[in-house]
């Protein structure tokens, strides 16, 4: 029912005084507050986030919870049970967490946690491409000092050497991280299309352990494209992103005999005290080879035909993987996981999968090294338990389980025979083994994040023919030398 | 006669006493009292971080840690302005390594702000007129106009990425064939800049339209009736009534959008164009802070420069707004 008096009052323009209103609000507020004060049912009276806090342990006690900043493949996959079976005491609870999948985001999140001196995560899977800057800053635990000599010796003896290097202090040589799984690229190709072009099983068998040169490879792809109903020849990742600098360009560069800093010995430093050799003749050959496989300009010392579409200069791994799997291309350079993807995609089709190492240049066939290594948070409040987890993770049983469940390669060459027996990867074992024996790490130092963006920028511009290989090399040389000089 | 009913008895609690205390305050003091919580929040969440950034900009970069180096005064600013910091992100537009990256980013950002705000204003005006007119299907048109504004930036970025991705983007090949774009529009600075600008205009024109529509609705209709009696043409009505009266609202809308455009970052990353293709000032900050070797001092210096540039634009706009209000007799 409408209150006529009040409407009449309003229409006359009379307003309630501000002070009366405040008084009324004050009274209501008091009542409201009184109502709140006894309230329950909130999300935790202690101001917590509702998560259970683990029983704390001192760093020297075995027990409590060890949090591992791992990845989605490790969550709910039975890893804690397998680690317990491999020797982790039952008093330790192992919690696998799901960090961001993007390596850059994961790096940033770890840096934030360490800067804030967070005790969790206790252990982190760090990308072999950005672990050394953390090591140099003292942001990871020196395992050489904290773990027994026998275990450290075992890791050094049994592990993939180039992976161990990515977790080693470049100056002291101390081990800070233990390899978890290596990753490396291969060439996946369509055997059915190559058969149509006149190649056969004997060729496929040969290429597994003796890859063709870039020139021969481009000719093979060109022949296959000519006689087949496919959109693309050879696919690889040439986009302006970290993967071009660390990996695809690094492969062209090394196979043609070039180097970032004069050779393998200087990859991890010393910054400012190593030669920058990106404008050397052989390094320019590396850029020319990458440009030629797209444009076929004939500038590289090998006769490389243009069999890659110009679009590769804008593509990264997911693009090429999906195109190869749907049958749009003859060959593809991609990481080991793409083999499993292609096996699944080709099932029940006429497409037949082949795998070979990357083509050879004058300096051989080289494969960029990817992969992840286990590191320890320096602010962990549960170091003794975390060490138990690291030790168990190095056991064969855990690494085999890791391969079975997540298709991650073991970081021990002695376990390659296990990979050989796998239904998915076994048929391609010889090519995989060749690749692991010819890995080239990226030059990971504290200034590599800056340098890699320059390399990616300049090489990508050359791939798009916005500048010549010589111009790209000169620009890289100038800028990277300036960084070395400033940071040395 | 209306009788005032007695209200419920209020206990003499602390809030009541506060209310009584405010009775004795002057109007001005009372206004400040009411504004105090807002100011406190502003101090905590705006001025304090800004002051921290200014302070940080006077300290050296330490590339091997998350700490600040020694006090270096204006060295970070000088290094950026003279292109003397080799650790700053690589030059994007001019690969000759001669043009300071800061200059490139500033040029790119201001150009983006001018073009996108101009485009949004023009399109927003058209949208507003369209939303105001009476015709069948007006509701659907309004919905279609407002829809882009409701789309999250990530989805918007995905739409434009799918339109222009290399090889199989919907528009990549057609635009390449007529010579407008290259085959790799997301990797080419000019193409990428156009894509980002168009994406921004597409999304935020709706926001401009809503603000302009509010201005249009507030124009007194009697003025149009007078204009009709005097035989004014449609153009004369727009020029002498609509535009001058909507102008103050338009300036405020443009001010908001310019501030947003000068801080552009999200749309560059979400479309797949990326900071290395189209650098903006904010791109520089993020690349220095997170993408490279933690150049905190230099990143803070760039962010202070952004604040100065935004401040300059705000000053210019406020001058325009004040002048237009004076012309209209509001001030």
Structure confidence at residue A385 as a pLDDT band (50, 70, 90): very high
Inform me whether the pLDDT recorded for B93 exceeds 80. no
B37 touches chain A (CB under 8 A): no
Inform me whether the pLDDT recorded for A408 exceeds 50. yes
Residue A241 is given by DSSP the state: S
CA nearest to A212, candidates A363, A428, A356, A367: A356
DSSP three-state, residue A186: strand
Rounded to an integer, what distance in angstroms lies between the CA atom of residue B109 and that of residue B99?
Answer: 15
> Quick one: pLDDT at residue A40?
31
Average pLDDT over residues B221-236: 90
B271 touches chain A (CB under 8 A): no
Give burial (CB, 10 Å; 0-12/13-18/19+) of B57.
buried
B276 touches chain A (CB under 8 A): yes
Average pLDDT over residues B34-61: 91
> Out of A22, A457, A485, whose CB is closest to B22?
A22
Average pLDDT over residues B101-114: 90
> Out of B16, B287, B292, whose CB is closest to A30?
B16
Inform me whether the pLDDT recorded for B177 exceeds 60. yes
Structure confidence at residue A20 as a pLDDT band (50, 70, 90): very low
Report CB contact under 8 Å: B66, A111.
yes
Average pLDDT over residues A280-290: 98
CA nearest to A356, candidates A176, A191, A196: A191
Q: pLDDT tens digit string along A193-224?
A: 999 999 999 999 999 999 999 999 999 999 99
Rounded to an integer, what distance in angstroms lies between the CA atom of residue B248 and that of residue B325?
Answer: 7
Range with the poorest average pLDDT among A36-45, A170-179, A279-288, B303-312: A36-45
B46 touches chain A (CB under 8 A): no
> Quick one: pLDDT at residue A11?
37
Residue B47 is given by DSSP the state: I
Average pLDDT over residues A61-65: 86
A270 touches chain B (CB under 8 A): no
> Quick one: pLDDT at residue A227?
82
B28 touches chain A (CB under 8 A): no
Q: Which of residues 99-158 of A touch B (CB under 8 A)?
A: 104, 108, 111, 114-115, 133, 136-139
- For chain A, what percent of residues have pLDDT higher than 90? 65
Report CB contact under 8 Å: A313, B64.
no
Inform me whether the pLDDT recorded for A58 exceeds 70. no
Q: pLDDT tens digit string along A23-34?
A: 433 333 333 333
> Quick one: pLDDT at residue B64?
59
CA nearest to A132, candidates A103, A166, A161, A163: A166
Report whether A119 contacts A139 (CB < 8 A): no
Average pLDDT over residues A436-444: 90
CA contacts within 13 A on the Cβ side of A322:
6
Structure confidence at residue A343 as a pLDDT band (50, 70, 90): very high
- For chain A, what percent of residues have pLDDT higher than 70? 87
DSSP three-state, residue A274: coil
- Between B122 and A23, the more confident residue is B122
- Identify the bridge partners of residue A64 per DSSP, sorted by sequence position: A92
Give burial (CB, 10 Å; 0-12/13-18/19+) of A269.
buried
B107 touches chain A (CB under 8 A): no
Inform me whether the pLDDT recorded for A185 exceeds 80. yes
Rounded to an integer, what distance in angstroms lies between the CA atom of residue A154 and that of residue B191?
Answer: 54
> Quick one: pLDDT at residue A34?
33
Rounded to an integer, what distance in angstroms lies between the CA atom of residue A49 and that of residue A47?
Answer: 7
Phi–psi pair at A332, nearest 5 degrees: -150, 140
DSSP string spanning A104-158? Answer: HHHHHHHHHHHHTT----SEEEEETTTHHHHHHHT-S--HHHHS-HHHHHHHHHH
Average pLDDT over residues A87-94: 95
DSSP string spanning A429-473? Answer: HHHHHHHHTSEE----STTHHHHHHHHHHHHHHHHTTSS-HHHHH
DSSP three-state, residue A376: strand
Inform me whether the pLDDT recorded for B37 exceeds 90. yes
Report CB contact under 8 Å: B187, A464.
yes
B85 touches chain A (CB under 8 A): yes
Residue B216 is given by DSSP the state: H
> Quick one: pLDDT at residue B98?
57
Structure confidence at residue A50 as a pLDDT band (50, 70, 90): very low
- Between B292 and A273, the more confident residue is A273
Rounded to an integer, what distance in angstroms lies between the CA atom of residue A126 and that of residue A106?
Answer: 8
Average pLDDT over residues B190-208: 94
Inform me whether the pLDDT recorded for A56 exceeds 50. no
Structure confidence at residue A255 as a pLDDT band (50, 70, 90): very high
Range with the poorest average pLDDT among A107-111, A278-282, A436-440, B234-238: A107-111
Inform me whether the pLDDT recorded for A42 exceeds 70. no
Residues of A in contact with B183 (CB under 8 A): 310-311
- Identify the bridge partners of residue A183 per DSSP, sorted by sequence position: A370
- For chain B, what percent of residues have pLDDT higher than 90? 43
Rounded to an integer, what distance in angstroms lies between the CA atom of residue B141 and that of residue B129?
Answer: 12
How many Cβ atoms sit within 10 Å of the Cβ of residue B148?
Answer: 17
Report CB contact under 8 Å: B90, A6.
no
Residues of B in contact with A310 (CB under 8 A): 183-184
Rounded to an integer, what distance in angstroms lies between the CA atom of residue B280 and that of residue B262?
Answer: 8
Task: Indicate the pairing of strand A439-440 with strand A353-356.
Answer: unpaired
Inform me whether the pLDDT recorded for A70 exceeds 80. yes
Average pLDDT over residues A271-294: 97
> Quick one: pLDDT at residue B290?
73
Report whether A66 contacts A389 (CB < 8 A): yes
Inform me whether the pLDDT recorded for B89 exceeds 80. no
A310 touches chain B (CB under 8 A): yes
Structure confidence at residue A52 as a pLDDT band (50, 70, 90): very low
B165 touches chain A (CB under 8 A): yes
Structure confidence at residue A158 as a pLDDT band (50, 70, 90): very high
Mean pLDDT, all residues of chain B: 86
Report CB contact under 8 Å: B64, A446.
yes
Q: pLDDT tens digit string along B1-28?
A: 444 455 455 556 888 888 888 888 888 9
- State CA B115 to chain mean position distance: 13
CA nearest to A234, candidates A296, A174, A157: A296
CA nearest to B19, candidates B8, B33, B6, B7: B33
Closest-CA distance of chain A to residue B83, Å: 11
> Quick one: pLDDT at residue B325?
76
DSSP three-state, residue A398: helix
Report CB contact under 8 Å: B2, A314.
no
Residues of B in contact with A115 (CB under 8 A): 66
> Quick one: pLDDT at residue A102?
67
Structure confidence at residue A59 as a pLDDT band (50, 70, 90): low
Structure confidence at residue B97 as a pLDDT band (50, 70, 90): very low
How many Cβ atoms sit within 10 Å of the Cβ of residue A446?
Answer: 22
Report whether A409 contacts A183 (CB < 8 A): yes
Phi–psi pair at B149, nearest 5 degrees: -65, -25
- From A453, which residue of chain B is nearest by alpha-carbon distance? B90
Average pLDDT over residues A390-400: 96
How many Cβ atoms sit within 10 Å of the Cβ of residue A205?
Answer: 11
Element of type H or E holding A367: strand A367-368
- State CA A357 to chain mean position distance: 20
> Quick one: pLDDT at residue B91?
60
DSSP three-state, residue A347: coil
Inform me whether the pLDDT recorded for A470 exceeds 70. yes
Gyration radius of chain A's alpha carbons = 29
Inform me whether the pLDDT recorded for B102 exceeds 50. yes
* Helix A448-463 / helix A469-487 crossing angle, nearest 10 deg: 170
> Quick one: pLDDT at residue A14?
39
Structure confidence at residue A60 as a pLDDT band (50, 70, 90): low
Rounded to an integer, what distance in angstroms lies between the CA atom of residue A483 and that of residue B4?
Answer: 80
Residue A125 vs residues A97, A400, B78, B139: alpha-carbon distances, Å: 11, 18, 39, 54
Average pLDDT over residues B62-77: 78
Q: Which of B64, B162, B271, B296 to mutate to test the interface with A (most CBs of A within 10 A)?
A: B64
Phi–psi pair at A232, nearest 5 degrees: -130, 155
Q: pLDDT tens digit string along B258-309?
A: 999 999 999 999 999 988 889 899 998 988 887 655 788 999 999 999 899 8
> Quick one: pLDDT at residue B66?
57
Compute the CA torsion angle B129, B130, B131, B134 (nearest 10 deg): 100
Inform me whether the pLDDT recorded for A43 exceeds 70. no
Residue A172 is given by DSSP the state: T
């Amino acid at each position: 029912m409408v209150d006529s008096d009040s409407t009449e009052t309003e229409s006359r323009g009379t307003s309630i005084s501000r002070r009366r209103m405040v008084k009324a609000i004050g009274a209501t507020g008091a009542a409201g507050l009184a109502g709140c004060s006894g309230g329950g049912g909130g999300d935790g009276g202690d101001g917590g986030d509702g998560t259970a806090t683990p029983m704390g342990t001192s760093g020297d006690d075995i027990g409590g919870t060890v949090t591992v900043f791992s990845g989605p493949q490790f969550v709910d996959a039975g890893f804690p049970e397998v680690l317990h079976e491999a020797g982790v005491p039952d008093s330790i609870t192992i919690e696998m967490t799901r960090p961001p999948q993007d390596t850059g985001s994961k790096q940033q999140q770890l840096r934030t946690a360490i800067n804030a001196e967070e005790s969790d995560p206790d252990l982190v899977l760090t990308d072999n491409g950005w672990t050394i800057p953390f090591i140099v800053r003292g942001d990871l635990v020196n395992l050489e000092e904290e773990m027994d000599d026998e275990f450290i010796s075992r890791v050094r003896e049994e592990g993939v050497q180039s992976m161990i290097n990515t977790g080693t202090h470049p100056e002291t040589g101390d081990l800070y991280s233990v390899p978890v799984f290596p990753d490396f690229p291969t060439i996946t190709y369509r055997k059915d299309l190559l058969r149509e072009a006149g190649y056969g099983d004997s060729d496929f068998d040969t290429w597994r352990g003796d890859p063709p040169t870039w020139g021969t490879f481009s000719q093979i792809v060109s022949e296959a494209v000519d006689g087949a109903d496919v959109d693309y020849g050879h696919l690889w990742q040439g986009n302006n992103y970290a993967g071009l600098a660390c990996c695809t360009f690094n492969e062209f560069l090394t196979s043609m005999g070039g180097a970032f800093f004069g050779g393998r010995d200087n990859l991890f430093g010393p910054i400012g005290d190593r030669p920058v050799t990106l404008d050397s003749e052989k390094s320019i050959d590396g850029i020319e080879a990458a440009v030629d496989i797209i444009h076929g300009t004939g500038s590289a010392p090998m006769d490389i035909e243009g069999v890659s579409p110009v679009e590769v200069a804008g593509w990264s791994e997911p693009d090429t993987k999906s195109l190869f799997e749907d049958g749009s291309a003859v060959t593809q350079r991609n990481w080991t996981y793409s083999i499993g993807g292609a096996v699944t995609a080709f099932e029940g089709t006429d497409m037949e999968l082949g795998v070979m190492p990357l083509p050879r240049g004058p300096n051989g066939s080289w494969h960029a090294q990817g992969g992840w290594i286990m590191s320890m948070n320096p602010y962990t409040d549960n170091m003794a338990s975390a060490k138990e987890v690291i030790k168990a993770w190095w056991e064969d049983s855990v690494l085999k389980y890791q391969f079975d469940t997540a298709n991650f390669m073991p970081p021990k060459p002695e376990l390659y025979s296990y990979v050989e027996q796998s239904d998915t990867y076994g048929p391609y074992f010889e090519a995989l083994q060749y690749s692991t024996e010819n890995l080239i790490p990226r030059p990971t130092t504290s200034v590599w994040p800056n340098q890699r963006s320059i390399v990616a920028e300049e090489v990508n511009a050359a791939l798009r023919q916005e500048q010549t290989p010589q111009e790209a090399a000169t620009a890289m040389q100038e800028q990277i030398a300036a960084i070395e000089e400033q940071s040395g | 006669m209306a009788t005032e009913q007695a209200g419920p008895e209020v206990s003499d609690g602390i809030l009541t006493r506060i209310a009584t205390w405010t009775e004795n305050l002057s109007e001005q003091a009372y206004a400040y009292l009411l504004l105090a919580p807002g100011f406190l929040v502003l101090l905590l969440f705006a001025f304090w971080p800004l002051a921290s950034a200014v302070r940080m900009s006077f300290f050296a970069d330490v590339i091997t840690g998350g700490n600040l180096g020694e006090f270096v005064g204006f060295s970070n600013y000088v290094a950026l302005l003279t292109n003397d910091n080799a650790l700053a992100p690589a030059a994007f537009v001019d690969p000759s390594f001669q043009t300071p990256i800061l200059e490139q980013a500033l040029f790119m950002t201001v150009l983006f702000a001018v073009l996108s705000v101009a485009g949004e204003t023009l399109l927003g005006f058209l949208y507003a007129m369209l939303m105001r007119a009476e015709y069948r299907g007006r509701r659907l048109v309004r919905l279609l106009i407002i829809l882009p504004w409701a789309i999250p930036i990530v989805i918007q970025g995905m739409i434009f990425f799918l339109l222009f991705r290399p090889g199989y983007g919907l528009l990549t090949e057609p635009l390449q064939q007529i010579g407008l774009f290259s085959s790799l529009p997301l990797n080419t600075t000019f193409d990428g800049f156009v894509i980002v600008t168009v994406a921004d205009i597409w999304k935020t024109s709706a926001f401009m339209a809503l603000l302009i529509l509010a201005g249009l609705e507030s124009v007194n209709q009697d003025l149009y009736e007078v204009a009709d009696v005097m035989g004014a043409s449609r153009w004369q009505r727009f020029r002498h009534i609509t535009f001058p009266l909507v102008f103050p609202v338009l300036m405020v809308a443009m001010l908001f959008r310019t501030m947003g455009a000068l801080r552009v970052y999200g749309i560059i990353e979400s479309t797949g164009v990326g900071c290395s293709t189209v650098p903006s000032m904010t791109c520089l900050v993020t690349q220095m802070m997170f993408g490279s070797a933690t150049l905190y001092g230099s990143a803070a210096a760039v962010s202070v420069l952004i604040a100065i540039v935004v401040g300059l634009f705000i000053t210019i706009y406020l001058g325009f707004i004040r002048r237009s209000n004076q012309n209209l007799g509001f001030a």
